[in-house]
Amino acid sequence: MSVGALQSTALRGQLYGPGLAPAGVPTTFSASALGLEFNGDNAAVTAPTWHRLAWRHGGFNATQLIVEWTTDAGAYSLAVSDAAAQSVLLAHLAPATQVAAGPSRGTRTASNAVIAVLVVVPLLLIGLLVWQADRLIDWAVAKIPVETEITLGREAFAQQRTRLALEDSHPAAAMVRELGARLGRGSKYPYEFHIARDDTANAFAMPGGFVVIHTGLLARADSAEELAGVMAHEIQHVERRHGLRGLVHAAGWRVALSVILGDTGGSLAASWVENLGALRFSRSQETDADLQGVQALVRADIDPRGMATFFRKMAADGSAMPELLSSHPASEARFAEVEAAMPKGRVFPRLAYDYARLRGTTK
Amino acid sequence: MADVIDYEIFGTEMQYVEVELDPGEAAIGEAGSMMYMQDGIALETVFGDGNQQGGLFGKLLGAGKRLLTGESLFMTIYSNQASGKKRVAFAAPYPGKIVPIDLSTIGGTFICQKDAFLCAARGVSVGIAFQRKLGAGFFGGEGFIMQKLEGNGLAFVHAGGTLLKRDLAPGELLRVDTGCLVGMQPSVDYDIEYVGKIKTALFGGEGLFFATLRGPGTVYLQSLPLSRLASRIFAAAPQRGGSREEGSVLGGLLGGAALGGLLGGDDE
Ligand SMILES: [Zn+2]
């Protein structure tokens, strides 16, 4: 290189053009009112006057200033990355000769639109899901037809059934069915009430109206009103579609979509029907089932205080009967809400069952 | 000035590069890429590429950047402290070609995919270049973070499979599968272009997104991106797991797990 290349006023860039290395050559140049002038090895390269030089911000992340021109020898490009050198050039370059970066405009815009949609839509969807998960789940649950829910529940219950020791000829079976029919009167769900031999004081309901009472719960309750209180609570889990909501919540958007599309027979559905039995409810759902249960009891003309006293008893028992309360989380606030919901000054007729005899001999 | 090193590349498909260091010269390498070194070469592990200036803060910044790129936090400097020439060799991590790039002849800067760098003469700085174009970041196959090699010495990058060096004339456009880009001169426009119907894009699709490279400048392409090799091996392996198709972001996002996870987690 000549001495001129080392002058401090020289600007640096990479020059591409005919006769030069394909990867371009590092070059120094000067910019003046006369135009671009290259130094050293590239002194022979000429460029037209400023207003005839096309230029653009291009290259990786548009970090380069790229100046382009054509001579008789061919097309030349000068790529300048140094910011100071860029500003010297920009002072000379004519705004009118700036060209758009990137490939042809039309396809570019369409392609960019697609890319933007593909980037933005999933992000929005995720944002929406995180932000409005509750509402979206409500919406999805509302889209699931009752028939689908019943089909699902039946399938889930059929699976669960093999693990249960159902005692449909239990002395209390008729009472359980009668109470259930009273509490579920007018429902769109065809309820089934079962008693299962299990010493844990528990009861559960599956979507579609499958309610199971453990013999341990029958033994623990001291009146038909207390039993009715638990049943009213379980029935409201069905009526309020808590199980379905929990399912949608747990299984996510994809599953909800398949249900909306009616794909309950699919393999997808089969895999999560199994999970129905293991469903847990949220605290707000429990409170909802309590309060709605109290109202259902009142409508059925059954004393709702049975629910309150039974829950209190279970909680006071602590370690002895943790099952019902562990799958139906309890707290003082929850009991207080139930007790506050009791109708004041109304007298209910006692249920005419010989409860102590019917509940059986289970301890 | 970066050290002027001599080198020799050995092997055909599983290559290694042997670098010859004069007394006092040094090479930098990604920790873990060294194959062997002769006695007399001292080894020093440094934060970043050992070029950071500005004291502790500069060093921390460099370290932070390297953490972001997913690279090892440390670079190793191999310096010849003997009185004669000594050799140190660096091996390619998977089948492919080692490409020597003389930064002084290409304008001082080379942009490459973030795991492409193998080793370089001391004085070459290894930094990161954030891809600022959304499309390229999401669909470019390599995310938003690329590597930027700067200086005036030799650097060695690694390409998977067979290497193609292509010199683009001013304005010349080349469409490339996104994973096949190894690196380029910074004068090359790099963007992502979508070709096809939106339906195909949503429901799976390799080759729907192309990297568009526009000259002037030199680009290096690889015939076998590691991600493609890995996904074929993964698909052929007996067990299944969370593999992700190349180029389909939505497919990955809708892959139940992600959304299920978001919706899951009962508030019980
Ligand atoms: Zn409950």
Positions in chain A whose pLDDT score sits under 70:
1-9, 101-112, 114-115, 118-119, 122, 126, 129-130, 249-280, 317-331, 361-363
A111/B193 touch (CB, cutoff 8 Å), yes or no:
yes
* A-B C-beta contacts closer than 8 Å: 179
DSSP A159-226: HHHTTS-B-TT-TTHHHHHHHHHHHTTT-SS--EEEEE--SS--EEEETTTEEEEEHHHHHH--SHHH
> Which residue of B lies nearest to A67 if distances are taken between CA atoms?
B170
Give how far Cα A230 sits from Cα of A263, A273, B131, Å.
Answer: 34, 25, 60
Residue A204 C-beta-side C-alpha neighbours within 13 Å:
24
* pLDDT classification of B57: cutoffs 50, 70, 90: low
B217/A23 touch (CB, cutoff 8 Å), yes or no:
yes
Position B215 pLDDT exceeds 90 = no
What integer pLDDT is reported at residue B17 of this predicted model? 95
Which of B187, B212, B262 to probe by mutation at the A interface, max A CB count within 10 Å?
B187
Helix (H) or strand (E) holding A305, with range, is helix A305-317
Give CA–CA dist A206/A279, Å, rounded: 9
B106/A23 touch (CB, cutoff 8 Å), yes or no:
yes
Give CA–CA dist A182/A202, Å, rounded: 21
Q: How many CB atoms lie within 10 A of CB B136?
A: 26
What integer pLDDT is reported at residue A137 of this predicted model? 77
Maximum mean pLDDT: which of A244-258, B33-47, B206-220:
B33-47
> Region B95-106: what's the mean pLDDT?
93
CATH 2.30.29.30 fits A3-109, yes or no: yes
Please identify among residues 107-126 of chain A the ones whose CB lies closer than 8 Å to any CB of chain B: 107-108, 111-112, 114-119, 121-122, 125-126
B268/A107 touch (CB, cutoff 8 Å), yes or no:
no
What radius of gyration, in Å, describes the C-alpha atoms of chain A?
39
Give how far Cα B134 sits from Cα of A104, A280, B113, B144, B182, Å.
Answer: 19, 41, 16, 8, 19
Give CA–CA dist A282/A227, Å, rounded: 22
What pLDDT, in 10s, does the model give residues A236-292? 999 999 888 877 766 654 544 444 444 444 444 444 444 444 456 777 888 889 999
What integer pLDDT is reported at residue B35 of this predicted model? 92
What pLDDT, in 10s, does the model give residues B102-145? 999 998 999 998 778 899 998 888 877 776 665 555 555 555 57
Which residues of chain A are within 8 Å of residue B111 when distances are taken between CB atoms?
Answer: 60
What integer pLDDT is reported at residue B48 of this predicted model? 58
What integer pLDDT is reported at residue A256 of this predicted model? 45
Q: Which of A16, A118, A251 is nearest residue B250 as measured by Cβ atoms?
A: A118
A268 or B66: which leads in pLDDT: B66
Phi-psi region of B180 (alpha: psi -120 to 50; beta: other; left: phi over 0): alpha
Say if CB B185 and CB A64 are below 8 A apart. no
Q: Which of B105, B250, B260 is nearest residue A23 as measured by Cβ atoms?
A: B105
Please identify among residues 43-72 of chain A the ones whose CB lies closer than 8 Å to any CB of chain B: 58-64, 66, 68
Among A61, A314, A23, which Cα is nearest to B167's? A23
Q: Give domain limits for chain A.
A: 3-109, 134-362
* pLDDT classification of B198: cutoffs 50, 70, 90: low
- A70-109 burial, b at 16+ Cβ within 10 Å, e below that, comes to eeeeebbbbbbbeeebbebbeebbeeebeeebbbeeeebe
A281/B268 touch (CB, cutoff 8 Å), yes or no:
yes
Give CA–CA dist B89/B18, Å, rounded: 4
> Region B222-249: what's the mean pLDDT?
67
Chain position carrying tokens 């050039």: A89
> A343 touching B, CB under 8 A?
no
Position B93 pLDDT exceeds 60 = yes
Residues 6+ apart with CB under 8 A from B22: B3, B5, B80, B85
Q: Is A270 helix (H, G, I), strand (E, B) or coil?
A: helix
Residue A29 burial by CB count (10 A; 0-12/13-18/19+): exposed, middle or buried? buried
Position B244 pLDDT exceeds 90 = no
Its pTM surpasses 0.90: no
Q: Which of A26, A63, A249 is nearest residue B266 as measured by Cβ atoms?
A: A249
- Provide the 8-state DSSP code for A343: P
Position B13 pLDDT exceeds 80 = yes
A306 or B239: which leads in pLDDT: A306
> A135 touching B, CB under 8 A?
no
What integer pLDDT is reported at residue A35 of this predicted model? 87
> Which residue of B lies nearest to A62 if distances are taken between CA atoms?
B189
Q: Give the percent of chain B with pLDDT over 90.
A: 34
B268/A81 touch (CB, cutoff 8 Å), yes or no:
no
Which of A28, A42, A77, A118 to probe by mutation at the B interface, max B CB count within 10 Å?
A118
Mean pLDDT (chain B, rounded): 76
Please identify among residues 207-266 of chain B the ones whose CB lies closer than 8 Å to any CB of chain A: 209, 212, 214-218, 249-250, 253-254, 256, 258-264, 266
What pLDDT, in 10s, does the model give residues B137-189? 555 555 557 788 988 899 999 999 999 999 998 888 998 887 888 999 999 98
* The CATH number, out of the four listed (3.40.50.2300, 3.30.750.24, 3.60.160.10, 3.40.50.300), of the domain defined by the range B6-235: 3.60.160.10
A61/B133 touch (CB, cutoff 8 Å), yes or no:
yes
Please identify among residues 317-336 of chain A the ones whose CB lies closer than 8 Å to any CB of chain B: 329
Q: Is A242 helix (H, G, I), strand (E, B) or coil?
A: helix
Say if CB B256 and CB B190 are below 8 A apart. no
Say if CB B158 and CB B97 are below 8 A apart. yes
Q: Give domain limits for chain B.
A: 6-235
* pLDDT classification of B200: cutoffs 50, 70, 90: low
Q: Is A26 helix (H, G, I), strand (E, B) or coil?
A: strand
